[in-house]
Amino acid sequence: MWSVRSWVSEPLHIIQRVHPAVMWAKLETLVEGAALATKELWS
């Protein structure tokens, strides 16, 4: 049976499988890509 508790705990469990350094590296790359896209869009 579906429950809110299982829905909430499932994504958190998946996130914990990724090393924090990998998550930060991905976030930094996303920020860099967004900055490049913004620069390209407004220039």
- The confidence score (pLDDT) of residue 2 equals 47
**Residue 43 forms part of a structural domain:** yes
Q: Per the confidence metrics, is the pTM higher than 0.85?
A: no
pLDDT at 34: 94
pLDDT in tens, 12-38: 555 567 788 888 999 999 999 999 999
Do the domain assignments include residue 41? Answer: yes
23 inside domain: yes
Tell me the C-alpha to C-alpha distance, in Å, between residue 25 and each of 14, 16, 20, 39: 17, 15, 9, 21
Range of the domain at 31: 19-43
**The pLDDT of residue 12:** 56
Backbone φ, ψ for residue 25 (5° rounding):
-60, -40
Assess if residue 9 is contained within a domain.
no
